[in-house]
Structure 1
Amino acid sequence: MSNSKTSRTVSEAAYKRLEKAAKRKPRLALMGEFSAGKSTLMNLLMGTDTLPTQVTATQLPPVWFKYGSSEPYRVDIQGKHHSVDLSNIDDIPVAQTRYIQVYTEADILEICDLIDTPGISDPNIPAEVWERAVHHADGVIWCTHATQAWRQSENAVWGAMPKRLYENSLLLLTRADKLVREEDKVRLLKRIDREAGKYFQDRYPVALLEAIGAGDDYEKWVASGADAFVTRLIEIVEQKRQTRAALLDRYRYNRDISVSRPSQLRNHSKPASTEPAPAPSAEPQTPAENQVHELEQPQKTAEPQRGVLPRRVAVKQGGSGRQRPPRSQESRLA
C-alpha cells in the first residue's frame, strides 16, 4: 500500500473492483477503412493456424478475441449472451449485436485482447456497429493504405475518438511494399507526421503479406517493417499493464467504509466530461473502474509482466534476443 498522504481510501468492495480492473489485460481494437488490411494484420498477430477463418468475414459486428478455449458467444444490444455458431455467420444479426466473443490460444492473446472491427467505410455496415467497440478499447491499431494513407474520411472519424486512446494507439501504413521509391516513403511519412502525428504514439509502414511469408527468415521479417511495429506494440501493451499496476498502489481500503457510500469515490473524480456518454457496456464499468481510466499518471512504475509472446517477436530478458530500441518519441497525452 502507498503512504496515506498520497493514497486514496475506498471501501474494501471498491478496492476489489479496482484490483480486478487494474489486473485485466489491455484491449486493442483493430480499425480502419474497408479493405485496409485489418484481417491480414490479425493473421500476422495471431497466426493463421489459430485464427478461426469464419470470423474474418467483413460483414460482421466487432469480434472480441480472448485467450482460451471456451465456446464463442454473441452479446446483443441489451447485453444478453447468446450461443453462436461460427459456421453459420450469415445468421448473426449484425444490427442487434454488440460484439462476438471468440476464444483462441494465440500467443499474443496472453498479453492483450484484440477487437476486430468492420471497416468504417463499409456501405453495408452502419457506423454504430463499429462504434460500439470503441469504448471497450484501451488503444487502437489504425490500418491505412500506404498508397492513399490517412484520407479525410479517416481523419474525420479519428478526430471524434476519445482522446484517452491517443497515448496507446499506433498508425499502421499497410501495403508498404507498393512504395517502390525511397523518396516516396520519406514524403509519405513526413505528411503523416504532419497530419496525424498528434493522434498516435507512432506510425509504421509494413508489408503485411511479406511479413507473414517471412516465416523464420529474420531478415525478411525485419525488411517487411513488422519487427519494428510489433516490438513497439508489445512495449505499449507492457506499459499499459505497468500503469494499471501502479494505479492500484494509489489506493488503500478501509473495511469500516460502507459500500453504500459511493461518494468516497466521487469525491476524487474529474469534472464531468462534455463528450457524449458511451453506449451501455455488456461489461458495465463500476465507479472504481472509471477511476482506473481517469487516473492516467502512475506515481511509480511496477515491474513489467511478460506473457508468452509471438515466436518471432519474443523479447528475451538478459539475452541476445531480437531487441530493437524504440523510435524516440515523447508520449502524447490527451
Structure 2
Amino acid sequence: MMVKQDDLYKVISAVSEDVLLELSSFIHTAEWRTLASDAKDVPIIGVMGEFSAGKSTFINALLGTEILKTDILPTTAVVTFIKYGEQEKVVAYDNEGKAAEYPLSILDVLTAEGDEGNDLRSTFDYIELQLPNERLQTMTLVDTPGFNAGNELHTARSKRVLERLDDAMWLFMFGLVGKETERQSIQSLCEQTSIMPLGIINGIDKAEEYSSEPLDPVKYARAEERKLSEYVRGMIGVSSLDALQAADSEDSAHWWELSRFGLLLERLAEDHRESRASVLTKRLERMAELTNQLKVQLEQQMEAYGIRSCILRLTVDGEKQLSGLDQSQTLLIEKLIEINDSASQLDEFLTRPKDSFVKQWMQWMTAKESYNAALNRLAAGSGEVTRQRQKLAANEKALLEKRRQALAKHREVMGYGAGRVKALFARKRAVKSVRLLWESVETHYGKYLSSRADLSTALEVLAMDFEEQASKLDSMLEQKYEQLLNGAIAATFEYRKKVEKTDKAVAGDLRLLDRFLPIRRFQLTLGEHLSELKEAETHTAGAAAAYEALLELRQMDVYADLAERIRGRLKKKDPDAFDPNTVQRAVPAEWKAIARDALQRDRDMPEEIDIQIRRPIYWFGKLRLVLLLSAAVFLFVTFTNDREQAQLKFDHAVSQVSEWFESVFVESSMDEPASENDGQQQADDGVIGYAVVKAAELNVRTTYSTQGEVVRTLQQEERVDIIGEMNGWLQIGKNEWISGSDKYVQYTQLEE
C-alpha cells in the first residue's frame, strides 16, 4: 500500500518531537525544532528583496491586514516566519532553539529596527508569528531583513534562513527593476538554495508618476522578465496599496483586481502543486542529515564519558558481585525458611502434641535447649519414667514367659482334664520341679508389682517437677521465640548490608548508563516510523535516505538493556521483600494445659496382670500310705473279734481315701486354667451377661491376655453378649476375648 505524503510529514513531525523530548540534553535542539515546525505540506516562501523594497507592506497586502510595521528605512530587524495558527501568537527562538512567547502588542518592538528592544532582539535567531489567517493555511511566509540593509547581522540571519525555504519571491521596486546588486543577491540565492525566485514588481500603481501614458502591467512584467530571465522564473506586477485598499473599501473587488494579487495567488498555488514532491523530499533529506549528525554526536558523547570502560566494569566486576548476591539471597531464604520452620514446629508442638509428654515433649525440648536447668531436671525425670517403663515391660515379659513355662510343665507332670489322674502317679522329683517353677513365677510376679510401683512413683515425681518448673519453662519458651526472631532480623540485616554494598559498587556505572537511557527510549519509538519509510522508499525520493539514517541510529548500542538487566536483578534482591517479622510469635497461653494433658497420658498405668500361683502335691506317696492303711484295716476287720469297732475304722479309712481322691480330681480341677475346649464348653452353656464398650476402640484378642493376637476391634457404644469369664477377661465368642476392666466396658451379668 502506497504511503501518503501526509503520513510521511507525520513521521517527520513525530521523529522530530521525540528527539526534542528524549534527546534535548545531548544536542542543540534548534535544527530539530525547525524541522518539527516545517513538517507540514505547506511551502515556506521567503519574501526577499533589498531594504525598503516594500516586503512588509507586500506581506500585509497578501494577508489582507496591516500586521507588520512599514517604513522607508529598513524596518524588519529579525527574520519573521508568518504561519497559520488557531490563535494569534508571537514566539521568539534563540540560537539554541529555546522558545519564549510574547504578546502580539509588542510585535513592532520585537521585529522592527530601533533602539527600543535592541538588546532583546539581539538574542533572537528568528520570530514565529502565528495568525488565524486563511491564506496562511496554504503557505508560510518569511519576512527577512534586506540583503543590502547595511547590517551584517541582518544579512547573516537572512542567509541562515535560506536552507528552510521551499520557494522565494523577490520584490523589485517599480522603476528600479534589476539593479546590479539585486542580480548579485538573486544569483547568490540560487547558488545556495537552487531556488529561482518568482519576481514581484511591487508598486505598479506608481506608473503614472513615471509616465503620462497608461501602463499595461502584463506587458511591463514580461518585458522585465525577459531582461532577468536568468534570475527569475517569472515576473508579476502587483500593487500592495491597492490590495490593502481592497481590504478596507466597500468596492473591494475592484481594488483587488487592480492589485493583481489574485493572479499572484493562482501562480503560487500552481507552483506549489508542481513542487509538492520536491518539498517532501527536501524535508526527508533534512531529517536524514540531522539523524546522521545526531548519531555522530551521541557516539562522541559516549566515548567522552568512557562508556566502554563502564560496560566492562559492569559485565565483569558487577557480574561477580551480583553472583555473590545471588548466593547471599539463597542463603537468606534458606535461613528464613529454617527459622520459620522451627517457629512453626514449636507452635505445633506447644498447641497440638501428638504423643506423650515423655516421648515427644521432653525429647524435642531437651534436644533444642539441652543447657536449660529446668529442662534438665524434667529430662532427668522423664528419663527415669522411660527406664521404669522399660523395666516394667521387661519384668512383664519375663513373668509371662515363666508363667507359660510353669503351665506347660504343670500339664506335663500333673496332667489336665480327664488325664488329671496322672497326678496320682507323678514322681516326687517331677512334682518338685513343677513346684520350683511356680515359685519362680511368684518371684517374677513380685518384681513385676515392684516395677509398677516404681513407675507410678516416677510419674508422680515428673508431674510435681513439671508444676515446679512451669514458670521457668514459660520464660525459656519466650526466649526461644525471641531468639528465632532475632536470628531472622540478623540474617536480613546482613543481607541488606550486602545489597547496599553491591548497589553502591555499581551505582556510579548505572547512573552513567542512565544518562543514555533516553536514547534507548527514543530508539524504541522508531519501529513504526521505519516501516512507513520502508514502504515509501520505492516511490518517494528521500525516504530511503531517511530510512537508512534512522535504522543506523536505532541499531546503535547504548547498552541500556544491560543497565536494565542489572537494575532488574538488583530489584529482585530487594531486602525489603524479606520480612523477618513473619517468624514473630508469642507463647500460647494454653500450652501448660496441653502439656498437663500429655503428662496425664503418661500416668495411665497399663492394666495389671493377675497371676494364680499353683502348688502341686506329691500324690503318689499319699496313695501308698492310703493303700497300706486300707490293707491294715482290712486285715484288722478280718481277724478282729470286735467287728463293730473294725467296721467303724474301715468306714473311716474309706472316707479318707474318698477325700484324697476328691482333692486330686476336684481341687486340681479348680487350679487348672480353662483350656480352649473348656471355654467352648462354657460357651455352649449360653449367655451369662452383656457388655457395652466405653472406650473409643477395644481390641478383641485370641486369648484372655494382652499377649493374644488382635483379631478385630469393637467401637464405642457397641454391645456384645458375654458367654464366659476368666482372669478379668470376658469371652464373646470362640477364641475371642475382651478386657473386662471398667475403663473399657460396662459389664452387666444376667441373673441366674
The two structures have a TM-score, normalised by structure 2, of 0.29
Aligned to 1:201: 233
Aligned to 1:300: none
Of 23, 48, 54, the residue aligned with 1:31 is 48
Verify the 8 A CA contact 1:22 1:244 in the aligned structure 2.
Answer: no
Deviation at 1:188, TM superposition (A): 5.1
- Aligned ranges 1:312-327 → 2 under 5 Å: none
Deviation at 1:80, TM superposition (A): 2.2
| SS of 2:256 mapped into structure 1 | helix
Q: Distance in 2 between matches of 1:17 and 1:239?
A: 26
The answer to whether the aligner puts 1:100 opposite 2:120 as a matched pair is: no
Aligned to 1:74: 92
Query: Which structure is higher in strand share?
Result: 1
Aligned to 1:224: 259
| SS of 1:35 mapped into structure 2 | coil
Aligned to 2:332: none
Aligned to 1:212: 244
Q: Deviations over 1:86-105 (max 9, x none)?
A: 52433254444221011111
Verify the 8 A CA contact 1:15 1:288 in the aligned structure 2.
Answer: no
Aligned to 1:91: 117
Shift of the 15–176 alpha-carbon distance from structure 1 to 2, 3 Å rule, reads closer
Deviation at 1:46, TM superposition (A): 1.2
Shift of the 182–53 alpha-carbon distance from structure 1 to 2, 3 Å rule, reads closer
Aligned to 1:288: 546
Of 122, 125, 148, the residue aligned with 2:149 is 122
Of 40, 64, 74, the residue aligned with 1:47 is 64
Shift of the 38–269 alpha-carbon distance from structure 1 to 2, 3 Å rule, reads same
The answer to whether the aligner puts 1:139 opposite 2:167 as a matched pair is: yes
| SS of 2:175 mapped into structure 1 | helix
Deviation at 1:122, TM superposition (A): 1.5
| SS of 2:146 mapped into structure 1 | coil
Shift of the 83–212 alpha-carbon distance from structure 1 to 2, 3 Å rule, reads closer
Shift of the 81–45 alpha-carbon distance from structure 1 to 2, 3 Å rule, reads same
Verify the 8 A CA contact 1:166 1:201 in the aligned structure 2.
Answer: no
Give the aligned residue type for 1:41: F
Moved more, 191-200 or 125-134: 191-200
Q: Distance in 2 between matches of 1:46 and 1:190?
A: 26
Verify the 8 A CA contact 1:94 1:129 in the aligned structure 2.
Answer: no
The two structures have a TM-score, normalised by structure 1, of 0.61
Shift of the 138–186 alpha-carbon distance from structure 1 to 2, 3 Å rule, reads closer
Q: Distance in 2 between matches of 1:31 and 1:171?
A: 10
Verify the 8 A CA contact 1:55 1:63 in the aligned structure 2.
Answer: no
Verify the 8 A CA contact 2:79 2:125 in the aligned structure 1.
Answer: yes
| SS of 1:135 mapped into structure 2 | helix
| SS of 1:192 mapped into structure 2 | helix
Query: How many residues of Structure 1 are paired with residues of Structure 2 in the alignment?
Result: 254
Give the aligned residue type for 1:112: M
Verify the 8 A CA contact 1:65 1:114 in the aligned structure 2.
Answer: yes
The answer to whether the aligner puts 1:62 opposite 2:94 as a matched pair is: no
Deviation at 1:124, TM superposition (A): 4.1
Verify the 8 A CA contact 2:225 2:232 in the aligned structure 1.
Answer: no
Consecutive unaligned residues in structure 2, runs of 5 or more: 17-35, 111-115, 284-525, 532-536, 550-752
| SS of 1:197 mapped into structure 2 | coil
RMSD: 4.3
Verify the 8 A CA contact 2:76 2:143 in the aligned structure 1.
Answer: no
| SS of 1:29 mapped into structure 2 | strand
Give the aligned residue type for 1:209: L
Verify the 8 A CA contact 1:166 1:200 in the aligned structure 2.
Answer: no
Q: Deviations over 1:159-189 (max 9, x none)?
A: 011455535x311101112224357868854
Shift of the 95–196 alpha-carbon distance from structure 1 to 2, 3 Å rule, reads farther
| SS of 1:221 mapped into structure 2 | helix
Aligned to 2:178: 150
Give the aligned residue type for 1:166: I
Q: Deviations over 1:94-151 (max 9, x none)?
A: 4442210111111111111111111222124631022122111111111111211121
Verify the 8 A CA contact 1:138 1:165 in the aligned structure 2.
Answer: no
